[in-house]
Every structure is written in C-alpha cells, then in structure tokens.
Amino acid sequence: MKYVLVIPDGCADEPQASLGGRTPLEAADIPAMDAVVAAGLVGRANHVPPHLPPGSDVANLSLLGYDPNVYFTGRAPLEAAAQGIELGPNDCAIRCNLVTIEDQTMRDFTAGHVSTEEATALLATLQTELGGTRLEFVPGVSYRNLVIYRGGETAPPFSSDTRATPPHDLTDKSVLDDYPRGPGSDLLNQLMHESVSIFADHPVNVHRRQKGLPPATNIWLWGQGRTPAVRPFAEVYGKQGAMITAVDLLRGLAALLGWRRIDVAGATGYLDTDYAAKGRAAIAALPDVDLVCVHVEAPDEASHEGRVDEKIKALEQIDRHIVAPLHEALRGQGDYRILVTPDHPTPLRTKTHSHGFVPFALAGTGVTVDTARTYSETTAGSSAVAFADGWKLMRYFLGG
C-alpha cells in the first residue's frame, strides 16, 4: 500500500464577503481535491489542543500522528533538527526572526522577506556582538533564523511557562504587551533590545533603506524549547515516510520522525513555489517509501498577507500540479490511500493561525465512500467522520 499526504498549509478559512459568502476552498477551482472526496470521504479534525498555540509546529506534529499534549516542546527545536543541530539535555533552540518594528508596532514579521544573504550577514554581526559559548546565532532561510542556548552543566532558564508570542500573530499590532514573559524572559528581552542598536546602522539596513525596502530593525525571539522525545514513525506506525517541503519546521519534524527529506529545486515556501516540481518529486519518491508527504506553505502565506486571490491561486496550483498527478500515479500502481488536509485554519480576516477543525479529504483502498462530492469546510462540517484529537487521524489514514 502506498500513502500520499498533501498539506496545503493554513488553507481552511471562513466565508468571505468578497467571494459571495464562500470560503477560499469553495471559491477555488479544485477538481482534483473534489475528486478525492467523491472517490472517498470528507471529514474534519482538530490538530491544536485548546491550551496550545495554533502554530504550524503543534498542528503538523498532530497531523503526522503525534499527540502534541505529550510531544510538543516548541517550534525552534524542530527547526534545529532540520538543520542537523544536535541539542544536549540542557540546550534550547530559540527562533530568531528578523522583523521590522516601527513605533512599537510589528510592521513586518519577515523584515520585507529579507534575503538569506542579508540575514546571514546580520546574524554574523549578532554572533560577534552577543554570541559566545552560551549563545550561537545560526542563520537559516530569509527571516527564519535560530539562537542556540547551550546550558552545559546547568539547566536552561526557560520552562513551559515561558511565554513568547510568534511575531506573525502581531502583524500591524502594538508589540508592547507581547514581549517575552516568565522564566528566562529577561535574557530574551535583553537580546531583543540589544539587537536594535546593533542593526540600526548595519550596512545591510543602510542598503535596504536606499532601495526603499523595510529594514530588519529587531530580532524577535520565540518558540524556545528542548528537543522533543518522539519515537521514530517507523516504530510507531510501521511505515517509512518521506517529506517534501521548503519549510524548516516540517523538515525538522521529518528528521525527528526518521523520515527521508527530499529537496526540490524551486520550492520556496512562498507564493512563487514550483508546484509542479513538488508533484514530480513526490511521484518519483513513491516507489522508495510507504508514505510521501507534500507540504505547501503558500496558502498560509497568502492568508498572513490577507490576499484572497493569492490564496485561491495557491489552492488551484496545488490541485492541478500536486493532487491531480499524484492521485493518478497512485491509481496506476496498486493499493493506495491519499489524504489532503491543512494543519490549522489561517483566516484571511485575522491574517493569523486559529484553533478549530480543518476539513480533510480521504480516498483509496478500503476507504468508505460517503455522499459528499466537494472538499470544503461546509461539507466537512456535516460529515460524521470527525477527530477532536487530530493526531488520531494518522492511524485512521493508515488503516490501522
């Protein structure tokens, strides 16, 4: 049996006045996703327990079949795993966004999608000024970077009570009430504060201002945690997996679960990603593993930017270039199952992730066929198949 999981990140949404009361999924032309529902069923699952933040970290951990109540320790350790960074028992990874804050307002949580080259230069200066044996500033991709806290013999100051707000939750809002709080927050706030003067006249920012681009005014620290103690996916579920994604968080999850990571040229994690290349890479990977997962960040990014047209376009590209060819390839090779589902809703109205159920489409060998014919929040809402503990969906998908 071959399994394919397609994750259009954050695609679940609310009815839009601009779409005549339809959701983006309902307005988009997605015949391949509808065909999955028509050949199988539509259902809904909630991947974010009420007391945890509705991040892609929590939600994708659940989507891949691990109870976030037990295993979630923070986003940054997952991204550290993606980069092959080993964390000792007293080490913590901390997410280090490059952001644009003006007048204490979060103007841009990506610092204008600062380039990786620019980010690397800014992080190198932070390492010189603030780094050492205890703190390592590690460049990643664009605005998504890390700080590694090395505790050595001493336990790190952070705990599950440390509160740090994801900067994408603060878009266009005042940041004054959302600086880190709780154990270890003094250190986080101090580093964030010191970055302001270090960045103010940095050559990267001088150059960006000259070009009319938003400068990286601050670092924003969040997502801190130790490495989660997950058992490999093959041990828990008896299947070998492979992950196709442009996002470090998902690459890290895959690494921790013992999945193969497949790099695809042209996969950007943004609206301009090469959808067809991802579809081809997934088909090429099918013979080698039991389960191929294709994650696409674009619908989530479109929501963060409040762009309904881009969200619909992303869904249509995923449908045409990923779901359609994969479903066809699966049908041509024997027993299979295909699951299409986002991790969490990202409503255009709020431009940020939310709690709540997301719709999923499931078809293939042995899957009960229901009467639904389209993939949407509405059809999922009236389905009898619902998982309040979203992490239990994986075993249902695998037929166990």
d(CA 291, CA 4): 6
| Residue 9 sits in the site that holds Zn ion (CB under 5 A) | yes
Describe the crossing of helices 203-210 and 116-130 by its angle, rounded to 10 degrees.
Answer: 150
- How far out from the chain centre does Cα 345 lie? 12
The token duo for 268 is 């950007």
Strand, helix or coil for residue 295: strand
370 binds Zn ion (CB under 5 A): no
Report helix angle 248-257 to 56-63, nearest 10: 40
CB of 25 to Zn ion, least distance (A): 15
- Is 334 within 8 Å of 3 (Cβ atoms)? no
Based on CB atoms, which residue is closest to Zn ion, 185 or 346? 346
Q: 168 with 101: CB under 8 angstroms? A: no
Q: Which residues pair with 22 in a beta bridge?
A: 16
Q: Using the rule CB under 5 A, which residue among 16, 23, 46, 56 binds Zn ion?
A: 56
Q: For Zn ion, give the closer residue by CB, 13 or 300.
A: 300
- Taking the complex as a whole, the smallest distance from the CB of residue 250 to Zn ion amounts, in Å, to 9
Which part of the chain contacts Zn ion (CB under 5 A), choosing from 7-15, 112-120, 224-232, 325-333? 7-15
Q: Interface residues for Zn ion in 340-369 (CB under 5 A)?
A: 343
Neighbouring C-alpha atoms within 13 Å toward the C-beta of 321? 19
What is the pattern of x (binds Zn ion, CB under 5 A) and - over residues 253-292?
Answer: ----------------------------------------
Q: How far is the CB of 337 from Zn ion (least distance, A)?
A: 22
Q: Does 376 bind Zn ion (CB under 5 A)?
A: no
Minimum Å gap between C-beta 56 and Zn ion is 3
Closest CA to 114 of 205, 245, 220: 205
- Cβ proximity to Zn ion: between 9 and 377 the closer is 9
Does 301 sit near Zn ion (CB under 5 A)? no
Number of residues that bind Zn ion (CB under 5 A): 5
Question: Where along the sequence are the contacts to Zn ion (CB under 5 A)?
Answer: 9-10, 56, 300, 343
